[in-house]
Amino acid sequence: MRTTPKELTAIASDRRLLLVLLVLIPTFIGVWMFANTLPFGGAHPLEIALLILFGLLFTWLWIGLWTALIGFMLQMRGNDWLKISTLNTPSHGRPTPLASTAVVMPICNEDADEVFARLRATYLSLQETGELEHFRFYILSDSNQPEKWVDEELAWARLCREVDGFEKIFYRRRRYRVKKKSGNIIDFMRRWGKKHEYMIVLDADSVMGGASMVHMVQAMERNLHVGIIQTLPVSQGMDTLYARVQQFAGRLYSPMFAAGLAWWWLGDGQYWGHNVIIRIAPFMNHCNLPRMPGIKPFGGEILSHDFVEAALMNRAGYQVWVSYDLPGSWEEYPPSLTDDLKRDRRWCQGNLQHGGVMIAEGLPLMQRFLLVNGIMSYTGSLLWFMLLILTTILAWIAPPGAEVALEQAIQLLWITLGLLFLPKILSLLNALRDKERSASFGGRVGLSLSVLAETLLSALSAPVRMVFHSRFIILTLMNKTVAWGAQQRGEFVMSWLEAARNYAGTTLIGLVWGVIAWYASPVFFAWLSPVLLGLVLSIPLARLTSLGTLGRAARHRKLFVTPEEIQLPAELEEYRKGLKLYADERAALGEVDPFVLAVVEPMANAIHTAFLRPRRSQPESVRLRRAWMQDKALHEGPAELTSAERAELLNDLDAMHNLHQKVWSLPEVSFKKYWPVPGINA
């Protein structure tokens, strides 16, 4: 039986109405109970502000809890009749024919070996399905570091040669990075979008299973009103303690939340930018992001593009689904708390900007709410911080011996703790009831201990996030940027000094706040102590959780184990094989500067120059400058060239041909000294 879009809309309305009631009723009761616990009975202006903050936070906690509970029930029941992976499956049982699909991977200054090992695993998995002919792979590079892009070109050629992927796997690099990632995708669509019906967007750290990709295309073909299907990517391959804890938490809790979200989002959801399939034609017609009017932080280029694109797709009448039950969708997690916060900094700025989009004309009500929800994922921290500060002030100014409804205060505390921890407990129960499932998380004992330890670590890190998110919001609203280094993807050991530099302020806030709370009331100090503890311990927390040794030790003791580690999926096994293959090749080649390789090594030079277009004309000043750069490289060595000069030469076909021939014509001493390539002259 087919479910029409109209029927779907009616079901969605009913479900959302139910959710609204389930959230608002307990929220009002909670606010009333909270008012009763306050020393002035909710009459003091400070208390009114507190009640507003509490009400907002409580609403979002209830949304989270009901989403988790619904997801839990769906998981327990085991069959959700209204999910996109099976929606409108024909009764004849024959597989739905596929349509032409582009698999696009936008990248920017990533490690080429890792990126191409992931792509290789995805490609080979798709090949296994026998449906490769319907797919074309596009690596869309925005890399501007000369060494990175030479690496990418060579890695592309190497992969194509290995898997016979010429004319199936394509590579292009943009010279001008207009509108960053979303601009990169739109540029692809302008040039090649008309060739394909769908595109599956991968991130640089994505690996996807071929069977899932085939299922996604089939689901799109069966449901012509669907514009986007987002899979649920789970983290894999992490080593540091921090990332392993997040990986474990995501693997255990996310499927339940995603099932709950899919229940009330239905076809009006959001997507998260990658491991997703998109119908190209409506995306091209409706989702090219304009520059927002006004000044920053709300004006300018849209930073977090995915939520806005989903909203625009929905506005155009196309559905946006989350498919929580399709396996074979992986990503990687930032290795440390600092890296996670760096990512949050970008996302926070992007989500706040959605305040401007939220009021756009014609957006469906659900999409407006989801944009607010995205904003709340960061402003929630600021609201919590404000709530705690106001509570501290209230504790300070409360008259001695003020009456507090202790019984209700304790009840409220239990409710709040339930809201915070029940989703974790439900996920744990869901895994424990099935022996096989609990074994895939390291066994019942390991799983239970892992949940306990994860809860402790997340409780400690939550106040740190609260302070940082609050800072990000304030700085964004003041239109100021926070300087962080580039995001790390692999393991990177954070020194004590770096940890102290990043978290000294947080520690100081914890100490000062602790003293104030103690003088206000020792009971209040005890109530606040979990928050204070997280802040005071932020330096060792950030440093120790960034260690790979601790992460591996935990894995050895069956803590934070995920199903992918117990039974390695074929795609991830292939990914590891690819990594090893490339690492061995690199070791055999030895240390070499990619620029030198592109100039000297005959094959590398040929491959690199094959990407360049011959120039028709060149201003005399440019010609002279490039001739001077070549002379400098030849006589003083390539190390004397700046990164910009290298980039300019690498972009010039004649210069690269000329340098190749001239370097090979250098006297032996200069050839070896300045242009060493192991296996050739070193």
When asked if residue 672 is in the footprint of another protein (CB under 8 A), the reply is: no
Nearest of 493, 213, 478, 162 to residue 328 by alpha carbon: 213
CA distance 403 to 36: 10
Q: Are 269 and 252 in contact (CB under 8 A)?
A: no
Q: Which stretch binds another protein (CB under 8 A): 119-127, 219-227, 359-367, 478-486?
A: 359-367
- Residue 491 makes contact with another protein by CB under 8 A: no
Instruction: Report how many residues bind another protein under the rule CB under 8 A.
Output: 65
Asked if residue 635 binds another protein (CB under 8 A), the reply is no
Q: Select from 112-120, 290-298, 454-462, 525-533 the region that touches another protein (CB under 8 A).
A: 290-298
Query: For residue 47, how many other CB atoms are within 10 A of its CB?
Result: 20
Which residues lie across from 229 on neighbouring strands?
Answer: 277, 321
In the set 2, 194, 480, 615, which binds another protein (CB under 8 A)? 194
Q: Does the footprint of another protein cover residue 357 (CB under 8 A)?
A: yes
Distance of closest approach, residue 67 Cβ to another protein, in angstroms: 22
Q: State the nearest-atom distance from the C-beta of 597 to another protein, in Å.
A: 11
Q: Which residues between 307 and 326 bind another protein (CB under 8 A)?
A: 308, 312
Q: Which of residues 256-285 bind another protein (CB under 8 A)?
A: 284-285
Q: Which is nearer to another protein, 93 or 667 (CB)?
A: 667
- Least distance in angstroms from the C-beta of 239 to another protein: 33
Q: Build a one-symbol-per-residue string for 114-143: x at contacts with another protein by CB under 8 A, - elsewhere.
A: ----------------------x-x-----
Q: Which CB, 313 or 528, lies closer to another protein?
A: 313
Q: How far is the CB of 641 from another protein (least distance, A)?
A: 21
In the list 94, 130, 361, 587, the residue contacting another protein (rule: CB under 8 A) is 361
Q: Is 610 in the site for another protein (CB under 8 A)?
A: yes
Q: Per CB under 8 A, does 354 bind another protein?
A: no
**What is the nearest approach in angstroms of another protein to the Cβ of residue 293?**
8
Contacts of 678 by beta carbon, 8 Å cutoff, 6+ apart:
589, 590, 591, 592
- Residue 106: name the closest of 201, 238, 194 by CA: 201
Nearer to another protein, 138 or 674 (CB): 138
Query: What type of residue sits at position 130?
Result: G
Residue 6 is a binding residue for another protein (CB under 8 A): no
**31, 8 Cβ separation under 8 angstroms:** no
Residue 195 burial (CB count, 10 A): 10
**Is residue 195 near another protein by the rule CB under 8 A?**
yes
**174 part of the interface to another protein, by CB under 8 A:** no
Pick the closest to residue 378 from 453, 321, 303 (CA basis): 303
Using CB under 8 A as the binding rule, the residues of this chain from 153 to 172 that contact another protein are: 156-157, 161-162, 164, 166-167, 170-172
Separation between Cα atoms, residue 199 and residue 206, nearest integer Å: 15
CA of residue 31 relative to chain centroid, distance: 34
One of 69, 73, 211, 360 touching another protein (CB under 8 A): 360
Residue 12 to residue 10: CA distance in whole angstroms: 5
Q: What are the DSSP calls for 395-431, one per residue?
A: HHHSPTT----HHHHHHHHHHHHHHHHHHHHHHHHHH
Q: Is 651 in the site for another protein (CB under 8 A)?
A: no
Which string of b and e fits 312-326 if b means at least 16 CB within 10 Å?
Answer: bbbbeebbbbbbbbb
Cα(41)–Cα(47) distance, rounded to whole angstroms? Answer: 8
Strand partners, 198: 101, 279
**DSSP states of 576-641 as a string?**
HHHHHHHHHHHHHH-S--HHHHHHHSHHHHHHHHHTSPPPS---HHHHHHHHHHHHHHHHH-GGGS
Q: What is the CA radius of gyration of the chain?
A: 28
Q: Which of 33, 289 has the CB closer to another protein?
A: 289
Q: With CB under 8 A as the contact rule, which of the stretches 127-135, 384-392, 412-420, 650-658 interacts with another protein?
A: 650-658
Among 365, 478, 497, 588, binds another protein (CB under 8 A): 365
Q: Nearest approach, Cβ of 220 to another protein (angstroms)?
A: 20
**Between 126 and 467, CB nearer to another protein:** 126
User: Residue 375 in contact with residue 359, Cβ under 8 Å?
Assistant: no
Binding site for another protein (CB under 8 A): 136, 138, 156-157, 161-162, 164, 166-167, 170-172, 186, 189-195, 284-292, 308, 312, 356-357, 359-362, 364-365, 368, 601-603, 605-607, 609-611, 613-614, 654, 657-658, 660-662, 664-668, 679-681
